[in-house]
Chain A
């Protein structure tokens, strides 16, 4: 009994980290527990913690998890979701374990694809917000460097807020370098384009979705996280602008 519900928690935890909505994970964990023979399953999940208590006849079993954030990985979520359905359909536990191990060993896109994606996003949103070709080109170059900056700042500090601050500082600095070299007429479009890769716009929207849907704790936590991250990004921009000698 104990081991099978441990696997249920493993799957739920990874779904949560990969980017599933909290209420979806609660539903999945409860369903898998029922499929594995629980008479009743009580699940409570917020972004950083999971609690599951299952009742089987006379006995009960409780497990809690401290969940640390990770990057969104939709392919992993897709396969976990499929595994969850199969477990609910009565999949053998040993097979489920093998499939889970196989899912966990699958790698995301290689780094160069992510670097290219950062460049693409930065260039696209610079043009989207009204920048010209030159600004788009500079934003592309900064975007490529920005992904590597994210890599370095994640190594330097485990504090996500400070990492955002550093990345924002570096991308602002590079945009001003472009201005001083005479490559671009203004910096703001280039900065906005690069900030799109850092700004927690999705986090803000998801937090309100969670609040409306009734996952108040998760929604409130995500809202605070989004506001703090946005402050850190604006702080990085402001810090450089001040260094640069009253450029604001």
Chain B
């Protein structure tokens, strides 16, 4: 039950951010669907593997793939779908607890939480970079 609530609220939360980012029309629908997908896949993978960072990485890679496909279909930058669809996984809560522990004076707890937050964010970033590297070759100087 809690899982179903999380998928629905995570997706609607992503829709909220999509509105703040001024995403419109069919792109708005695709971005919100990505939000539902990301937490759904994260929970689904939980049946196979318990580790959170590896699941963050896999979901991020799958969502990046989804974003690349949507970006080509709707002729728009990939970032549109990545930044919104990954919202339910963004380690905002974790980042907040880290800072709260640091300001509360519990440094050992702050360091543990901080490193874990970085690990999750790095897993997300790696997934994004992996897929975008597969999809395009960069040319800096023309």
Q: Which A residues fall within an 8 A CB radius of B? A: 19-21, 23-24, 26-27, 30-31, 33-34, 38, 40-43, 71-78, 81-82, 108-109, 113-114, 116-118, 120-121, 123-125, 127-130, 192, 195-197, 199-202, 204-206, 208-209, 211-213, 226, 230-231, 233-235, 237-238, 248
Contacts and interface: CB of A to CB of B under 8 A. Distances in A.
B103 A235 contact: yes
A231 B83 contact: no
Contacts of A76: 22
Interface in B88-102: 88, 90-93, 95-96, 98-100, 102
A121 B16 contact: yes
Contacts of A130: 2
Contact of B125 (A43, A208, A231): A208
A195 B96 CA distance: 8
B76 A73 contact: no
A43 B21 CA distance: 27
15 contacts: A19-B21, A21-B79, A27-B139, A72-B83, A74-B77, A75-B24, A77-B79, A78-B76, A117-B17, A118-B16, A121-B20, A127-B9, A199-B95, A230-B96, A238-B104
Nearest to A209: B125
B22 A196 contact: no
Q: Chain A's interface: helix, strand, loop or mixed, by majority?
A: helix
B62 interface: no
Given A27-B139, A128-B10, A235-B103, A208 B96 contact: no
Contacts of A24: 77, 79
B27 A78 contact: yes
Contact of A205 (B86, B88, B93, B100): B86
Interface of B: 2, 5-6, 9-10, 12-13, 15-17, 19-24, 27, 75-77, 79-80, 83, 86-88, 90-93, 95-96, 98-100, 102-104, 117-118, 121-122, 124-126, 128-129, 132, 138-142
Contact of A77 (B5, B77, B117): B77
Nearest to B99: A234
A109 B18 CA distance: 11
A121 B10 CA distance: 9
Contacts of B96: 192, 195, 199, 230, 233-234
8 smallest CB-CB distances across A and B, nearest first, come from A234-B99, A201-B90, A201-B92, A121-B16, A208-B125, A124-B13, A199-B92, A124-B9
A124 B16 contact: yes
Contact of B95 (A20, A114, A230): A230
A123 B103 CA distance: 26
B84 to A, nearest CB: 9
Given A30-B139, A74-B27, A118-B20, 6 more contacts: A33-B142, A72-B20, A77-B77, A128-B88, A201-B90, A230-B99
Given A201-B95, A202-B83, A212 B129 contact: yes
A131 to B, nearest CB: 10
